[in-house]
């Protein structure tokens, strides 16, 4: 089995999350093929740093030189530009009356409400307590996950959806604080040798 060169770009708030999304999307579209798909999902990548100040011609020469050094299943990622900023914060929305499929999570609960996490198409109970405490915990959990994911605060008669809200801006003066998180959206380039 041989190897083919792969190269591409993506935009993300960090190199690792971005390449994982690229690999996942490639697997969903083309499959893994026992590790010989000829795509980025069969390559182990390492981050080489910020190359945003390097002219395009010098960047191409650098990548060409690095390809001569890399082996099969090896790849590298470099940052090649900034495309803006992601400003994220928690949004807690009152959704009205609690549907019956969520009421079942209140069974055997001694506190007035529960916090549920929605992941992999199912709900799991995170904690129970007052609505105020569950809102604070939902904000904390969302912040840990960089405001990605869905949480629900459930009471017998009412429920709230807790999600991360994101706005993309080209430039900003805002800084990360207790209420918001400001993340740079960077463009990354990956390259390497994929087994086929």
* 35-58 pLDDT per residue, tens: 788 899 999 999 999 999 999 999
Assigned token pair, 185:
């959206």
Determine the average pLDDT of the residues in 190-195.
95
Determine the average pLDDT of the residues in 10-20.
94
Query: Quick one: what percent of the chain has pLDDT higher than 70?
Result: 99
pTM of the model: 0.75
Q: How far is Cα of residue 54 from the mean position of the Cα atoms in its chain?
A: 27
Quote the CA–CA distance of 94 and 42 in Å, as a whole number: 44
The model's confidence at residue 1, banded by pLDDT at 50, 70 and 90, is low
Digit-coded pLDDT (tens) for 25-39: 999 988 888 778 889
The model's confidence at residue 104, banded by pLDDT at 50, 70 and 90, is confident
The model's confidence at residue 9, banded by pLDDT at 50, 70 and 90, is very high
* Per-residue pLDDT at 14: 92
Quote the CA–CA distance of 129 and 149 in Å, as a whole number: 21
Contact between residue 191 and residue 22 where contact means Cβ atoms under 8 Å apart: no
Give the SS3 label for residue 121.
coil
């Amino acid at each position: 089995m041989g190897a083919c060169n792969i190269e591409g770009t993506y935009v993300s708030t960090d190199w690792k999350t971005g390449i994982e999304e690229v690999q996942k999307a490639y697997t969903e579209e083309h499959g893994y093929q026992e590790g010989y798909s000829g795509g980025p999902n069969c390559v182990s990548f390492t981050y080489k740093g910020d190359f945003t100040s390097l002219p395009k011609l010098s960047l191409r020469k650098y990548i060409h030189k690095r390809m001569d050094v890399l082996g099969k299943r090896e790849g590298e990622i470099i940052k090649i530009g900034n495309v803006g900023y992601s400003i994220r914060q928690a949004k807690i929305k009152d959704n009205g009356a609690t549907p019956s499929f969520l009421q079942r999570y209140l069974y055997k609960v001694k506190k007035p409400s529960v916090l549920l996490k929605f992941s992999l198409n199912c709900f799991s109970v995170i904690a129970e307590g007052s609505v105020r405490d569950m809102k604070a915990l939902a904000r904390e959990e969302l912040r840990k996950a960089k405001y990605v994911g869905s949480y629900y605060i459930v009471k017998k008669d009412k429920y709230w959806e807790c999600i991360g809200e994101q706005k993309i801006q080209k430039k900003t003066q805002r800084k990360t604080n207790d209420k918001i998180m400001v993340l740079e959206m960077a463009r990354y380039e990956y390259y390497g040798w994929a087994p086929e």
